[in-house]
Amino acid sequence: MCLVSICVVTYNQERFIEQALEGIFAQKLPSIDFEILIADDCSTDSTKQIIDAAINKYQNAANIKKMYGSHNIGFARNFLRCISSATGKYIAICEGDDYWTDYEKLRKQIDILERKPEIALSFHRCEQRDATGKLVGLSTRPAASEFDICTLAEANIIPTLSVVFRNSQTAFPEWYYRLSAVDFPLHLTTARRGHVHYSEEVMGVYRTHQGGVWSSKSNVDRLRATIIGLLLPLIDHEFDGGVLVGLRKNLTRHLSEYLSEHTNPGIDTLTFLCDAGLDVQTLLFVIAEFFKEKEERYTQLSKLKSSSWYKAASLAKRLL
């Protein structure tokens, strides 16, 4: 077992993969203490050729394991097969279109995990840049530098490229492979074993571009994918107690955003909720929470008092 496994997940990222590898290869770690797993999902551009050329120039090439499949398996399976193959005590992730900017990033985060056994996952702030390199913004800052899984469940604020976490070598259930995103479930699963630590230091760049798996989607498509393809399966399969409450709040927030995209909030949202397959308790929770936030505005809008949304919200308040 090595100290840290660095997982690189890529597909058709010929414009960016070299910069991602440069940031990894520059990390100040003893050669015996790490492995680099590069999982390419059968890229149809020159990504693999660029990877091979970069490896040939790298002095610690023996630490690299290339994972080139015979056919495309999709982002989730490619991501999870890379994580599952990691043998390190800790795991770090850098997708092929992101990159690290601090050459001591891994050392700093591993030091935290080594000194604090109660910490299961370390992450840091990141810049967000577009395909031209223009700064778009910074990742979300949490309210505290350390927090638990219940707080994490309320919002996925962890940039995947920023994480270093303890390797539990847990097998992923089959339904994980059908999720619209796998980083958030991975972070939640890790946070079951300890707290999450946040560093304000910016040590990496998350890149948004039209070829990105997530950033290329429209806002409505991202919301639908998050609600139906991520949050609902997590609520149905995996968590209870305070974590379930956090996930339901997360769901409520995303539904609120989805609602803002529609002209008929009452009917459209209730139809969407029913089609999405929420269990009764989650449906009531979401309706009541959303209504609580909007009650004053809805009361002023008399035309909505007869709507199905207003009636459902009033019923939910009585039932909960």
- CATH topology (fold) of 4-208: Spore Coat Polysaccharide Biosynthesis Protein SpsA; Chain A (3.90.550)
Which residues in the chain land under pLDDT 50?
263-267, 295-306, 309, 315-320
Looking at residue 9, the DSSP 8-state letter turns out to be: E
Sign of the dihedral through C-alpha 35, 37, 38, 42: positive
Interaxial angle between packed helices 265-276 and 308-319, expressed in degrees from 0 to 180 and rounded to the nearest 10: 60
Segments making up each domain of the chain, as ranges: 4-208, 219-319
- pLDDT tens digits, 231-249: 888 988 878 889 998 998 8
**pLDDT on residue 51:** 98
Cite the DSSP H helix spans in 144-279: 149-153, 183-191, 219-226, 232-237, 241-259, 265-276
The separation between CA 64 and the C-alpha centre of its own chain, rounded to angstroms, equals 25
Is 158 exposed, middle or buried (CB count within 10 Å of its CB: 0-12, 13-18, 19+)? buried
Alpha-carbon gap, residue 146 to 171, rounded angstroms? 27
Task: Look at phi and psi of residue 303 and say left if phi exceeds 0, alpha if psi is from -120 to 50, else beta.
Answer: alpha
